[in-house]
Homo-oligomer: A and B are copies of this chain.
Amino acid sequence: MKKTGILIGAILAILLAGCSNKSSNSNNSSKSSSNGYQITGNSSSDQYQNVITNGRYLTSKARGVGISQNSDNLLNLKSFENGLTQLSKTKYSPNNYIFREGQLLSSTTVEKWLSRQSKSNSLGLNPESNGQTDPNKRNPIYVQQLEEQDYMKQENGKLVLSGITIGIGMNRKDYYQKEQYGATYTTDISEAKMIAEGRQAAVKVLQRLRSSGKVANNVPIMIAMFQQASNDSLVGGSFYSYTYVKSGSTINSWQSLNTKSYILPTTANTSLPNDNDETSFESFKKQVQNFFPNLAGVTAQAEYNNKELQGMHVNITTQFYSETEITAFTQYLATAARNYLPSGIPIDITVKGSDGDIQSFLAKTAKQSTYYTHVFSSY
């Protein structure tokens, strides 16, 4: 079953992206047989290679469902998918596994699962409507999004499904209309209720996958639980727990996760887990926002695991009057970021003009102390 799980024929041409010191290796990427699979090169050792079939990316069988589920706040989709891939790396190392977009669950299946239970949909993971429209009396939608990721190994020239990750996005706030195009109301869901409903959904999903005939009993399945951010949030939601089921259909335990994202500058009602990070950011902001006679807007997203800062995305917007101003500002930012922003974490800085177009960009990895800089130019 393991080897027959996903049969792929023909030649498997592996594209090696190579590390930055290797020289280019002619035109590997053109080696594609009529039925063949290819694998994209990985641009760094901590990224997955991906499956290409007949020169085309093998997209998810449920492609696009995530966007419709998160249409009110697409940051949830970004956080969800990035987090899911990061979590998967703890179980399926990019050195040994190849990423494949989910091929087991189709759009139709996922849409059915995410709907309410009803006479026509026994598979719904959300409760039947009780006919109420009052926020506190109605049955809310608990399970908001669901995504499958497949992790493959190469065996005898074939790609074999060797691990699965399922992400389940849960609501703390369920937005609904009493009538089409009407006002939006909100049902609040307690954390305890969200966790309980999520665990029930996870049990069902695991059993359905195992009994689908598409997954061998010994293929591990990780299920990760995500709390959706509210529609007005400037950061996406975060994963709060996961389970890793090596085989079988029983969930024995849940590991909790404590990642959370914040927006800087913080508001009166919020504060960062670590005050020093806020001070660093404020110093940086002060340093750069008066660089030009016109003020620059400086905000950031910061991600924490427990009390520890994991990374930052900094956004800067200002009005530029010349290319030389953009270049000078970017150089100045490289120095200011090094001097004021926290070290030892990945940080990127995006600089936009008043029209919203990106003008320059700076980034460092956790290990780097200086920033890579790029000014977007034109001939």
Contact = CB atoms under 8 A, between A and B. Distances in A.
Interface of A: 15, 17-20, 22-24, 26-30, 40-44, 47-50, 52, 55-57, 59-60, 63-64, 66-67, 75, 77-79, 81-82, 85, 99, 101, 149, 235-236, 261, 287, 290-293, 301-303, 311, 313, 321-325, 327-332, 334-336, 338-340, 343, 348, 350, 358, 361, 363, 368-374, 376-379
A60 B324 CA distance: 10
Nearest to A76: B378
Contacts of A323: 77-78, 81-82, 85
A327 B47 contact: yes
A99 B59 CA distance: 49
B379 A313 contact: yes
Contact of A331 (B49, B340, B358): B49
For the complex, would chain A's binding face be called helix, strand, loop or mixed by DSSP majority? mixed
Contacts of A372: 372
Contacts of A50: 324, 327-328, 331-332
Nearest to A237: B379
A55 B332 CA distance: 11
A66 to B, nearest CB: 6
Contacts of A369: 22-24
A182 to B, nearest CB: 27
Given A57-B328, A60-B321, A81-B322, 13 more contacts: A17-B338, A20-B370, A22-B369, A23-B369, A24-B369, A29-B336, A40-B331, A43-B331, A50-B331, A81-B324, A82-B379, A236-B378, A372-B372
Contact of A101 (B99, B324, B340): B324
20 contacts: A28-B339, A29-B339, A30-B287, A41-B331, A43-B331, A43-B334, A47-B327, A50-B332, A55-B290, A56-B292, A57-B291, A57-B325, A57-B332, A59-B293, A67-B322, A78-B378, A81-B323, A236-B379, A301-B378, A348-B376
